[in-house]
Amino acid sequence: MKEQKSFMFPKGFFWGASTAAHQVEGGTMNDWSEWEKSEKRLKHLKKLKLIEKFGENNFISGMAADHYNRFDDDFKMAGEMGHNATRFSLEWSRIEPIEGEFDEKELGHYRDVVRSARRNGLESFVTIWHWPIPLWLRDKGGWESKKMPKYFARYAERVMRAMGNDVKFWITLNEPQVYSAESFLLGEWPPQKMNPSSYLKVFHNLIKAHIAAYGAIKKISPKAQVGIASHNMHFDASKRSLMGHIFKAVADWWWNFYFLGRINDYQDFIGLNHYFHKKMDHWWSGKKNEVFSDMGWRLHPESMEHVLMDLKRFKKPIYITENGLADEGDVKRPWFIIETLKHVHRAIEHGADVRGYLHWSLMDNFEWAEGFWPRFGLVEVDYKTLERKMRPSAHLYRDICLENGVTEELVEKYKNLL
Ligand code: BGC
């Protein structure tokens, strides 16, 4: 059989990259920024000798990439990089710094952000909540509070009133699965709980919050397209052991499908964030030939196809809202992007309704508990000067966006990077 050489995507496909407020804006004051500076956190970092290794500033989001002030230049750059879409998040603590009091100036700021995106040829995918919460809300129990769905729907409604006319695609929640597990089960992120009952409470509050916000958004703007960004993994039981299959079935059910299934009558599309390939059996085998990111995450582009095919069951359009890797030297990113896109293409050929790909991330950013050292950006940020510089993969990705696919000529042009 002749090997396929070009992989062209459907007309109108969205190409772009994503960010999140706390990770790039700088100057945020929320439960995360406070936690970063807390005694408990510093003690923990010292105990693990992480301060020695990376320095204290690595773990403080501070000015981040100053995207709050530089959004216009950043979007101009994204437009010049061939993107026609962008995903970013709103910072709740700026918009509602005091309970029930919404800051018109900040809402105006985000309206400017959306308009700047449009001017630069980018369709906005706006995330309403990408993890941090305002301090008043933290003090009321945060996502464990029974009132959280109500607070969240009120915030979403206010945002809609301010920006509803300018935005079509809304993502209510980013990765509810990851947030609830890291913050309430594994104790890694604020508020650092390890409590299964808190975890389940938060998980179900997130479901309720999405449904309440969906209703509030649709009431104001029936045409708005609303979904979440779901973190789906490829649980791989390819060795066909019985145990592997049982682990896979349980993991798929709870992690990949439960949340989406519960909200399926209240979502117009699925946002997919995909990073992980998890072997459910024989996890010790094959290591020698495997490729890993700077964070030690296995890079397995085929997984994207599996995850997309699995999402067909929800019968909704899919936008890939995050996918990427920490790769400071940009050694693996060009290969990773091209191989992943081939698998997105195959999934589309096999009936998955995929309508966009947003790489994580537009630029280097503050990687939560890890801090600044992991470099996820298509664009490199010099944190001393805040200067931006396109990595080689950003050039390659620009050509993909402009061609609307991976062509044979493009692969030839960039063969030194692959
Ligand atoms: C999150 C991003 C994060 C990325 C890389 C995703 O789970 O939504 O905020 O930076 O993964 O870890």
The confidence score (pLDDT) of residue 1 equals: 55
Structure confidence at residue 154 (pLDDT)? 98
- Cβ atoms of 341 and 7 within 8 Å: the answer is yes
175 lines ligand 1 (CB under 6 A): yes
Q: Does 128 contact ligand 1 (Cβ within 6 A)?
A: no
For residue 238, name the pLDDT band (cuts at 50, 70, 90).
confident
pLDDT in tens, 76-135: 999 999 999 999 999 999 999 999 999 999 999 999 999 999 999 999 999 999 999 999
> What does the pLDDT average to over 253-269?
98
- Identity of residue 72: D
Q: Hey, what are 17's tokens?
A: 């990259």
Ligand 1, atom 12: closest residue by C-alpha: 367
Tens of pLDDT along 144-170?
999 999 999 999 999 999 999 999 999
CB of 363 closer than 6 A to ligand 1? no
* pLDDT for the residue numbered 287: 75
Percentage of the residues of the chain whose pLDDT score is greater than 90: 95
SS3 call for 150: helix
Could you tell me if the CB of 322 is within 6 A of ligand 1?
yes
Cβ–ligand 1 distance for 273 under 6 Å, the answer yes
pLDDT above 70 coverage of the chain, percent: 100
Pocket of ligand 1 contains residue 353 by CB under 6 Å: no
Model pTM score:
0.98
> Does residue 86 have its Cβ closer than 6 Å to ligand 1?
no
Model confidence band, residue 2 (pLDDT cutoffs 50, 70, 90): low
Ligand 1 neighbourhood includes 359 CB (under 6 angstroms) = no
Is the minimum distance from the CB of 367 to ligand 1 under 6 angstroms?
Answer: yes
**How high is the pLDDT of residue 289?**
85
Strands (DSSP E) along 207-304, which ranges? 225-231, 234-236, 270-273, 277-279, 291-292, 298-299
Q: Which atom of ligand 1 is nearest to the CA of 324?
A: 5
For 344-364, what is the mean pLDDT? 98
The CB of 327 under 6 Å from ligand 1? The reply is no
Angle at 158 between CA 156 and CA 160, to 5 degrees: 70
Residues 6+ apart with CB under 8 A from 365: 19, 20, 23, 24, 64, 65, 372, 376, 377, 381
* pLDDT at position 239 over 80: no
Residue 283 has pLDDT above 90, yes or no: no
Query: Quick check: 360 pLDDT over 80?
Result: yes
Query: Residue 156 corresponds to which amino acid?
Result: A
Q: Which of 322, 323, 359, 373 to mutate to test the pocket of ligand 1 (most atoms within 8 A of CB)?
A: 322
Nearest one of 404, 337, 415 to 376, comparing CA atoms: 337
pLDDT tens for 159-199 read 999 999 999 999 999 999 999 999 999 999 999 999 999 99
Residue 293 Cβ contacting ligand 1 at under 6 Å: no
Instruction: Say if ligand 1 is within 6 A of residue 178 CB.
Output: yes
**In the chain, what are the helix, strand and coil shares in percent, each to the nearest 5?**
50, 15, 35
Q: Show the CA angle centred on residue 251, arms to residues 22 and 324, nearest 5°.
A: 40
**Which atom of ligand 1 has the smallest separation from the CA of 365?**
10
- Residue with the nearest Cα to atom 5 of ligand 1? 367
Mutate to test the pocket of ligand 1, among 22, 273, 276, 378 (most ligand atoms within 8 A of CB): 273
| CB 332, CB 290: distance < 8 Å | no
- Residue 333: per-residue pLDDT: 98
* Ligand 1 centroid – CA 324 distance (Å): 9
What integer is the mean pLDDT of 372-377? 98
